[in-house]
Amino acid sequence: MRRGCEYAEGAGVVSLVNDALLAAGRAPLGWLNPWLYGVGKGGFTNVVEGSGIGCGGEGFPA
C-alpha cells in the first residue's frame, strides 16, 4: 500500500511548478490550502435536516 508517498510526490510537483514560475519571473503558487478548500467545497453537502444520502441506505442523521 502506498500511504504517505502521495504527499511527498505532490509536494515535489508543487516545488517544481514554483521553481518554473520563479525562473519565468512570475510569483510562486503560495499557500494552496485556501484555493484547495475553495475549489473542493462544491463536492460536499451540509446536511442540516433529515439525513445524508448513503450507499444504498439512509446515511447519517443530521
pTM here is 0.54
Higher pLDDT, 1 or 31: 31
Q: How many residues does the chain have?
A: 62
At 9-54, the pLDDT tens digits run 888 999 999 999 999 999 999 888 888 888 877 777 777 776 666 6
Within 13 Å and on the Cβ side, how many CA atoms surround 29?
Answer: 15
C-alpha–C-alpha distance, residues 20 and 22, integer Å? 5
Specify the pLDDT at position 19.
96
